Chains A and B, each alone.
Chain A
């Protein structure tokens, strides 16, 4: 197990090397550079050249790359051109928001998707199965921003049940030891703040969780349908096990195997930032941060952010693969 984990982590090295070259070339191929965003109307060729020189952008690309990677190897992602603060610090401020949002979105997808997929799989052709099929197709087809605006209009603007945007009420002044606002509220004993942060999460989590929900529902349905026809389920029935034991111990446990893989992949994707959702709900996470860095050609932020998210993606999938070994003994052996 440990050997497996180490090997997978070592695999990160070539991935990061390849990815860093791609990103490095990509940002430099974009029209304009940080000077355009920094200088705006005051842009003159001389000033632009001065800015580029200040950030070392006038040097040959391979030289820039080598010196950048030298710093990355020492866990130094450089300084944001926009904010003049270390990129790692900027990421550290936004990533908790992304984790919070991704967690809520995934919880929503799991809590709704698994029971729904289960019922649909046990009763194919029933109204609930048909409804879940239509719902899943809609969930995948509807653009995230459209769904986001719809939810916001309905539940925040018209009904006023939930806040429209942000991570917490602007009138609240609270402490944030961890950056996870719900957790912070609980830790500092400020339960109203935790509740407020939770309410801010609901609509973005639903908007973001809809696609994973649709996928999880479909996968669960297919897996359950396949599993209920397995011989070992017939054995459990022949042993006279109660319906609930047959369901939980024999059907669900096996049907969850493919679902775990999908959940891992989807979690990795959610953590890579939800640009549209975060923009619609003005939710200050990695997604909106990266989007604004892209607009202002903040090269160090784009590069550092993408490398960071790649590491997150690989680590999440590693965790999933390891936990897969715990629920499927056949994998553990090999």
Chain B
């Protein structure tokens, strides 16, 4: 879909310079007193080149949100252990003082979330919620910020924007609210936008509109995009690179084309089989992956997906499988028994 050359087609690891966002061995463990420790993210490596679009896909509970929240220091401190490193434009985000990190968030790195109703403050007008970020990071006066906020609303497709600034979130539809979130996120022309399930709470048509809006805006502004979703169909039209996560680890990782042309991991195939597709005749049943994400194993014992995997063999339980290249040099796979060509779901 994208025909532009670098940096959009750039592949992690092949870039001359440092990537814009560089995550290494990120591990997040929730350990509150009296409860069993939960390792939500288990050694994630992730590169996001400037201007590129990266998808992170996985069933709910696989650690996608925790990965992004941890990277931005949004998890809080109590009962959370974070290790590894996160560098943005060379700066170490995990060890940055709080006030410096606050100056990066919203300005250099913006985020939008799943539920646009609960993500907006119910007692403040949307005008207030957009202008506050302009005042904070761009140092605009109140009046300048109001004018800018109106034109931001316009740019995300909200008409009658001056009047809309006085609306409260409950007076807008779900799609409108997500547009407001996008306007807020792009207010300071960030270099990286992380969108965590931006369309999950919306119905199909609205969801398509929002994705299209995101696609145009990041392309226009050359903003790098990390798109988090449980729906492979969503990343298909949008992302240069896709990482598939299961139980806190990346299990398959590839540029879009090889991933959709040759999905190797049984889990990736399972995800593909459960996505409704327009290019297939109606009547082909969607196949959900058997079992649930809770039927999992600690990675230390073997492949965490093996309890649900139809291709499981004894050696799947002999310690953690490595994430290793297969075929295409940027195609990485964590699986002992990939799906053979004939049985792939493509």
Give me the interface of A with B, judged by CB distance under 8 Å: 230-232, 234-243, 245, 249-250, 253-254, 257, 327-330, 333
The chain B residue with its CB closest to the CB of A330 is B170
Q: Chain A's interface: helix, strand, loop or mixed, by majority?
A: helix
In the bound complex, residues from chain B placing their C-beta under 8 Å from that of A257 are: 123
Contact indicator A235/B168 (Cβ below 8 Å): no
Distance, CA A243 to CA B184, complexed state (A): 19
Binary CB contact string for chain B from 294 to 311 against chain A (1 if under 8 A, 0 otherwise): 000000000000000000
**B277 in the interface (beta carbon within 8 A):** no
The chain B residue with its CB closest to the CB of A229 is B76
Distance, CA A301 to CA B106, complexed state (A): 64
The chain B residue with its CB closest to the CB of A327 is B123
Q: How far is the CB of A327 from chain B (nearest CB, A)?
A: 6
- List residues 265-299 of chain B with CB under 8 A from any CB of chain A: none
- List residues 9-24 of chain B with CB under 8 A from any CB of chain A: none
Show 26 A/B contacts (Cβ-Cβ < 8 Å), sorted by A: A230-B118, A231-B119, A234-B69, A235-B121, A238-B72, A238-B106, A238-B113, A239-B105, A239-B106, A239-B110, A239-B133, A240-B102, A240-B133, A241-B102, A241-B106, A243-B98, A245-B132, A245-B136, A250-B124, A254-B121, A254-B123, A329-B122, A329-B125, A330-B122, A333-B168, A333-B170
Q: How far is the CB of A240 from chain B (nearest CB, A)?
A: 3
A231-B115, A234-B74, A234-B113 known; A239 and B123 CB under 8 Å?
Answer: no
Contact indicator B171/A333 (Cβ below 8 Å): yes
- List residues 180-229 of chain B with CB under 8 A from any CB of chain A: 181, 184
Contact indicator A238/B118 (Cβ below 8 Å): no
Contact of B168 among A232, A242, A245, A329 (CB under 8 A): A329
Contact indicator B122/A240 (Cβ below 8 Å): no
Distance, CA A238 to CA B101, complexed state (A): 10
Distance, CA A328 to CA B170, complexed state (A): 11
**B120 in the interface (beta carbon within 8 A):** yes
In the bound complex, residues from chain B placing their C-beta under 8 Å from that of A241 are: 102, 106, 132-133, 136
Contact indicator A238/B110 (Cβ below 8 Å): yes
Distance, CA A253 to CA B122, complexed state (A): 10
- B interface residues, tally (CB under 8 Å): 33
**B107 in the interface (beta carbon within 8 A):** yes
A234-B74, A240-B107 known; A329 and B170 CB under 8 Å?
Answer: yes
In the bound complex, residues from chain B placing their C-beta under 8 Å from that of A245 are: 132, 136
Distance, CA A234 to CA B121, complexed state (A): 10
Distance, CA A252 to CA B212, complexed state (A): 36
Top-10 shortest CB links A-B: A240-B106, A240-B105, A239-B106, A231-B118, A238-B111, A329-B168, A232-B121, A231-B119, A240-B102, A235-B119
**B103 in the interface (beta carbon within 8 A):** yes
**B104 in the interface (beta carbon within 8 A):** yes
Distance, CA A238 to CA B110, complexed state (A): 7
Contact indicator B132/A240 (Cβ below 8 Å): no
Contact indicator B113/A235 (Cβ below 8 Å): yes
The chain A residue with its CB closest to the CB of B128 is A249
Distance, CA A193 to CA B40, complexed state (A): 66
Contact indicator A249/B106 (Cβ below 8 Å): no
Contact of B113 among A231, A253, A327 (CB under 8 A): A231
A240-B103, A249-B132 known; A234 and B170 CB under 8 Å?
Answer: no
A231-B115, A329-B170, A330-B168 known; A238 and B122 CB under 8 Å?
Answer: no
A237-B74, A239-B105 known; A254 and B122 CB under 8 Å?
Answer: yes
Contact indicator A240/B136 (Cβ below 8 Å): yes
The chain B residue with its CB closest to the CB of A328 is B123
Distance, CA A236 to CA B106, complexed state (A): 9
In the bound complex, residues from chain A placing their C-beta under 8 Å from that of B120 are: 232, 235
